[in-house]
Structure 1
Amino acid sequence: MDAAASTVPASVRNNGFYLGMSVAIAATVIGGFGSFALRGFVDVGRVPYWVHVHGAVFVSWTLLFVMQNAFAHRGSMALHRRMGWVAVGLATAMVPLGVVTACMAVVLNRVPPFFTPTIFLALSALELIAFITLLTGAIRLRRSTEWHRRLMLCAMVAIIGPAFGRLLPMPLLGPWGGLAVMSGQMLFVAAGVVHDLASRGRVHPAYAVGAAVILVEGLAVPILAATPPIVWLASALAG
């Protein structure tokens, strides 16, 4: 090992697990939305332009998430930090794009068939809140590698619910669909917990934070969907 490599902390050099997790998450996202289109559930040619923009930004974020883990895995931390600000820019664009796309889906009656408009709006809102919460924590704690990479992983997991919704047989799951999606998300968190136990002998508290946020995100969807503001918004947009 050369001198430069020897100066890289073990916590950075030995994080192939996080690279593998980022690839698995990217495969879930691309596989979910890609298979949905290939099965004929969406006419790509007739999709509004803002949906394409939203999709392009989200895919770019997903691929950058993989790249960032690859940079960290090989110890290229200077490049990782520079690209981190690109990631912040993409994340900043994802939030308003997510809001516009969700609202316009209701306006144009393009809500996925396994969601009601109220559930779709509630899910979109809670997903963005969970993402912002975990991402903000990860950015604030970026100098603490152990917190940063776990919160980034959980932030990514928080926004892949729609991908699971397109992979799972949602019409057959009925009222259990939301729980199934959340369970799929929690599998990624569980993998992180198992890895911590195997590699450190204990679970880092970042996973408790991430799991709590993701559980609240999933369990609160039907509650928020039934509130007067969401019911009114869904009706106003559809009308």
Structure 2
Amino acid sequence: MATAIGAVERQARERRIFTGMAALVAVTVIGGFGSFALRGYVDVATVPWWVHVHALSLLAWTLLFLAQALLVAQRRTDLHRQLGWVAAGLACFLIPWGIATSILAVQMGRVPPFFPPGIFLVLGPLDMLAFGALTLAAILLRQRSDWHKRLILCGTIAMMEPAFGRILPMPLLGPWAGACATLMQLLYVGIAMRADAGLRGAVHPAYRWGLAVIAGRLLLVELLGRTAIVTGAAAALAAG
């Protein structure tokens, strides 16, 4: 009996942890983009339509992610599964649109001044590919809920770099701006890992994969974004 009660309590705690992480992600994303606009750093009326579509699709994913965590917390796994396929469809839209948005931003001269154009050109696509890889793995492992929910969390964190870029003082960070945003992503995974260790006595391997993908994405951005091929492509795009 005590063992059964312990298992039930652990499941309840795990649901609270994932709901808390989903809420933290949502507050960070909405707060980051919202505060950026409220501080007057962007004129929403002049932003191109394709950027609005990208932003709204990211917001939709964030809200879906939070809704999914709340459904599991309320034990509405039937609705969770149905909504999961909506989320999968949204992910299929998010990835190519996010990549296209990065390319168009370089082409139209909308690269933030603290990012070298080559770095920015590969940053968005690699963010989307990291998100896509972790999300696809989560979908394939949806029957193993322990892997599924942790990979989805890591995948969502993998595309939070733009949100952290609007919270951190990026112009003051100079060449370390991108790395600092990635460190914030790794910190969020670390928070989940710490909670996992406290709950289970060990960190689930899904988090190690998530950590490796996000850290590896930073390494690839730095390696590829400074190559002659990528910097040349960025210059050609900017030149029209």
What is the DSSP-based 3-state SS (H/G/I as helix, E as strand, rest coil) of the residue aligned with 1:62?
helix
2:218 paired residue number = 218
Is this contact kept in 2: 1:13–1:74, CA < 8 A? no
Aligned to 1:199: 199
Check if 1:149 corresponds to 2:114: no
1:5-45 Cα deviation digits (max 9, x unpaired) = x9xx7776441111111111111111111122222221110
The answer on 1:83 being equivalent to 2:83 is: yes
Over 3 Å counting, the alpha-carbon distance change for 1:154 and 1:177 in structure 2 is: same
Cα distance in 2 for partners of 1:31, 1:25 equals 10
CA-atom RMSD, angstroms?
1.7
Runs of 4+ in 1 over 4 A off after TM superposition: 9-13
Q: Could you state the TM-score of these two structures normalised by the residue count of structure 1?
A: 0.92
The answer to whether the 8 A contact 2:114-2:175 is kept is no
Indicate the residue corresponding to 1:32 in structure 2. 32
1:227 deviation in Å?
A: 2.2
Q: CA deviation at 1:192?
A: 1.3
Superposed CA deviations along residues 210-237 of structure 1, whole A, max 9, x for unmatched, are 0000000122212110123322321121
1:127 CA displacement? 0.5
Does the CA-based 8 Å contact 1:122-1:222 persist in structure 2?
Answer: no
- Checking the alignment, whether the CA contact within 8 Å between 2:103 and 2:121 is kept in structure 1 is yes
Q: Match of 2:132?
A: 132
Task: State the distance in 1 between where 2:68 and 2:228 align.
Answer: 41
Long gaps (5+) in structure 2: none
1:199/1:12 Cα in 2 relative to 1: closer, same or farther (>3 Å)? closer
Contact 1:114 1:171 in 2 (8 A): yes
TM-superposition CA deviations, 1:80-115 (whole Å, max 9, x none): 000000001111111121122111111211112321
- For this pair of structures, how many residues does the alignment match? 233
TM-score under structure 2 length normalisation: 0.92
SS of match in other structure, 2:62: helix
Which runs of structure 2 are paired with 1:16-27 in the superposition (5 Å)?
16-27=16-27
Amino acid at match of 2:127: E
The share of aligned pairs that are identical, in percent, is 48
C-alpha deviation, 1:60, in angstroms: 0.5
